[in-house]
Structure 1
Amino acid sequence: MVGRIGMAGVLVAALAACGGGGGEAAGAARPAERSSDGARTAATGTAGTTPAQTPAQTAGPTSGGAAQGRAPAQSGDVRRALAGMSLEEKVGQLFMPVLYGTTAGTVSGENQARYGAQTPAKVVARYHLGGVILFPANVKSVGQVVALTNGLQKASPEVPLLIGTDQENGLVSRMGALMTPFPGAAQVGATRSTALSRAVARATGDELRALGVNLDFAPVADVNVNPKNPVIGKRAFGDDPAHVSRMVSAAVKGFADANVAATAKHFPGHGDTDVDSHTGLPVIKHTRAQWERLDAPPFRAAIASGVDAVMSAHIVFPKLDPSGDPATLSKPILTGLLRDKLGFKGVISTDALNMEGVRKKYDDGEVAVRAVLAGADLLLMPNDFPKAYNAVLTAAKSGRISKQRLDQSVTRLLTLKQARGILRGAPAASAAKAAGVLRSAEHRRLAARVARGGR
């Protein structure tokens, strides 16, 4: 994802996005900072078992598709959690705004201005948020991040948070100040080793989990078929669909080994663009047959490997949907292709909703509503959060977003939380344990091996 973030104390609520898994806050943004998956970030400071499948993921595609008829399969815990929620709480689960502060109790005028609550903890509680996403401005030290994630979870006692970040490694490394500096996807891909792809994802996931982060907006599943692509480039494993598919599949399994949710991005494929979706609306002119051959294979592989989430792209793909709407707002793409054709039953996250690519035709409230109607479950970083939240709430009250449709998304989010062991309560992170995991000798040796080309 790639939204823009303002001010120095950012705390983003939940899954991330287009250019690299996370979004950036709207408003007074620093030009050098990209949203969660944006390629440029002034503050990063970085150089460079089988997956546990949920019932909603393992069920094969159905003729009607999850968004066309019945809701995803529910466990008892998920069913009870859903039944105990008010409408406002259900709507809150869909959102992941940017918050400001390095602790859950940090008082920020920015939070007050944007959300009507001064601290990250109060914003989480007020809107019943589904999760938060961390950016470099939220990262000062191991102990500080552990205290932050633990404090955020305490603010959401009824339904624990998905706490995410864009840790692709390489160019997009939001937690790079603390974590092992693993090479990015292009260097991992150059080793041709699926074992190394899985090992790097496992090690990355282990370090994130030690900090209290339970979701990564990685791996990038785009095939870098356009060398002029301003967004993807070295963030992709390569330019061959079969090779990228193998590496993506291995990475998804590696994150599952670490019990961290993985997110394949950016569907239906951002690899052949020459426009940055942070500032414009790219158009991909592939035919349906070219999409099947070039763009779809890594996403198929990710789904087959049990990927937890898939992030949409703010790109127009006329041969997949002639409406002119970006994929994030396209029911033919998110529901017709991703749900019905590819059989994906997990969480669909938007890329950052403060990016210009998704805001060309509609205001911030309508964008959020249309994303849900298209099939999205997680609404990442809306530009005007109150407007987006109230628009979705109003649409749910009026029936424009049906109760069934809303419950489908909340069920998927709760199922993901259950799959990653946090639905009944997120385990507290330990600063002492994290200090022994982050930048361990074993992980540094692994990073060095990848940097040497796998030797």
Structure 2
Amino acid sequence: MDNNNKYIFDIETISKKESEANKELRRKKHRQGRVIAWVVLVAGILLLGTALFFGGRALVKGIIGRGGKTVASVDGPDDGGGENSVIDELIGGEDEVVVTPPEPVEVGPSEEGLFEEALRNYIHTMTPEEQVLGLFIVSPEQITGVSAAIKAGDGTKKALEEYPVGGIIYSDKNMIDPDQFKTMIEGTKGYSKYPLFIAVDETLGKSVFPAKMKVAATQSASEIAAGGDASVARAEESKIAGYLSEFGINLNLGVDADVYPAPSGEDDAVPAVSFGTDANVVAEMVTQCIGALNEQGISAGVKFFPGQGYASADTSEAIAQNERTREEMEACELLPFISAADAGASAFVVSHESVPGLAGEAVYASQSKEVMTNLIRVELEMDGIIIITDDLSKTAVSAYYESGEYCVAALKAGADMLLKPEDFKAAYAEVLNAVNTGVIAKERVEDSLVRIYKVKFKGMTFDELNSLTAEKIVQP
């Protein structure tokens, strides 16, 4: 081909040039598209940010209005059409809503609080002497001076007028036949200015009632435990509750919660009055006994706190030592008493055994502040339980202490009631003197009486109690 012919084109060269031009054009369009996309994106972000800003302002103002107690929406538009105008447009220009906070509700005293206040008013109608006497549970012989009281006649009437004690505890020597005993109790109640605890120490399988009283026989605690059925304990205790109720008795101090060690030999055995060596079994059985008593209106006293199954001797005969540690007793002996309180026991009968592991010193539980106040009241939180000393005529006390001396020490340590001091009248005089001289605080006596009368007046309303108090004020 002639290369000098100017009309002849190189097709390949032209195609290459055209391709390069097209590529450049596409690149320009692509760059323009990206620029436009970025502009749109930025504009959208700016618009969204503006909307969120003003919307957030409106929301915050609404929340502040609610929390600050008045305005739930923002203010109306201002004259300048400024910020508030924009916000009003955003929320639709709603009217202002004022939220009025609710008036505070006054909570009045609880029914329990009212009842306790009424109780204290009732107690305040008593003389100091009557208040102190209300802390004693004694035998009928101790106030009448007779060797064996078998009726409530003029002697009982005069004795109760002079010594209006908190309770009377009866034994077999007061029982001739069912009618005689029931009449005696009715008369005693009628002569008393204040409600009495009418008590016995009636334990399963070990009755204080002689055969001539014809009460129902019961299985012993050990027999019941051997059978392993706690419902039997309830059924047997229900028998006791039944005949106690018929006679007019309202307090049984015979529920035994002691846990004993396993027998060490053929000559060693768990006493028949105990539910055994397993604290959990004892706790379950005791719970059933308390339920049975409470069902028939009998208050339950549980013995012998903090548990004397491991004591070295019987306190009726000698001084008893218990060398168990606090940890051991917390894991064993105390468990049935905790269950008893939960089940509705009214009182604990506190032992005369020496318990250094709990008391921190060689002192009887029945005169230990560590046991009766710090352990029962504070650690176990049992403020409502009535703390009754064990029988103060037992050898462990009567052979080594003066009655008055021991009673004062027991009350100072936290006891609420004093059971059968050997010399009741001397003990009363000593305690009264201690209260009058400030050795025992009057408030301390009142607190004990509140616990006592909460049990005695169980089921009574505070209105009924107020009426009773008013009657006493009018006719002291």
* TM-score, normalised by the number of residues in structure 1: 0.71
Q: 1:422 to 1:268 in 2, by over 3 A?
A: farther
1:279-313 CA distances to partner (integer Å, 9 max, x unpaired)? Answer: 21111111111101121100010011110010000
Shift of 1:174: 3.6
Q: Residue in 2 aligned with 1:217?
A: 253
Asked if 1 retains the 8 angstrom alpha-carbon contact of 2:140 and 2:170, the reply is no
In structure 1, what is the equivalent of residue 331 of structure 2? 293
Which range moved further: 302-311 or 92-101? 92-101
Q: Is the 8 A contact 1:230 1:274 kept in 2?
A: no
* CA distance in 1 between partners of 2:203 and 2:195 (Å): 24
Q: Is residue 403 of structure 2 the alignment partner of residue 368 of structure 1?
A: no
Distance of 1:304 and 1:251 partners within structure 2: 13
Quick check: 1:279 aligned with 2:317? yes
For 2:261 and 2:124, how far apart are their aligned partners in 1?
46
**Deviation string for 1:164-202 (max 9, x for gaps)?**
001113124346633101112112222222222122222
Match of 2:197 in 1: 162
- Whether 1:353 and 2:392 are equivalent positions in the alignment is yes
Show the counterpart of 1:6: none
- Per-residue deviation, residues 383-431 of structure 1 (Å, max 9, x unmatched): 1111100011000101111011000111111111012779989xxxxxx
Q: Distance in 2 between matches of 1:253 and 1:236?
A: 18
Partner of 1:430: none
SS of the residue 1:382 aligns to: coil
SS of the residue 1:218 aligns to:
strand
Give the deviation of 1:91 after TM superposition. 0.5
- Describe the shift of the 1:77–1:203 C-alpha distance in structure 2 as closer, same or farther (beyond 3 A): farther
Give the whole-Å Cα distance in 2 for the aligned partners of 1:420 and 1:169: 28
Aligned equivalents of 2:429, 2:268: Cα separation in 1: 34
The structure with more radius of gyration: 2
**Aligned residues of 2:137 and 2:166 also touching (Cα < 8 A):** yes
* Structure 2 SS opposite 1:233: coil
Matched, 1:385 2:424: yes
Q: Quick one: distance in 1 between partners of 2:121 and 2:262?
A: 47
Question: Residue in 2 aligned with 1:83?
Answer: 124
Deviation string, structure 1 residues 249-294 (Cα, Å, up to 9, x no partner): 1111111111100011100101112311012111111111110112
The residue number in structure 2 matching 1:405 is 444
Describe the SS at the equivalent of 1:265.
Answer: strand
Code of the aligned partner of 1:322: G
Q: Distance in 2 between matches of 1:185 and 1:121?
A: 38
Seq. identity, %: 27
Query: In the TM superposition, what is the alpha-carbon distance from 1:124 to its structure 2 partner?
Result: 2.1
Contact 1:237 1:247 in 2 (8 A): yes
Contact 2:115 2:461 in 1 (8 A): no
Rate the CA distance shift 1:186–1:422 in 2: closer, same or farther, 3 A. farther
Per-residue deviation, 1:230: 9.9
* Distance 1:292-1:143 versus aligned 2 partners, 3 A rule: same
Q: Could you tell me how far 1:332 is from its partner in structure 2?
A: 0.2
Number of the residue aligned with 1:152: 188
**Residues 1:134 and 2:170 aligned together:** yes
Please, what TM-score do these two structures have when normalized by structure 2?
0.68
Q: Which has the higher contact order (CA 8 A, sep 6+)?
A: 1
Structure 1 match to 2:38? none
CA distance in structure 2 between the aligned counterparts of 1:356 and 1:190, rounded to whole angstroms: 32
Give the root-mean-square deviation of aligned CA atoms.
2.9
Q: Is the 8 Å Cα contact of residues 350 and 380 (structure 1) preserved in structure 2?
A: yes
Q: 3-state SS of the aligned residue for 1:173?
A: coil
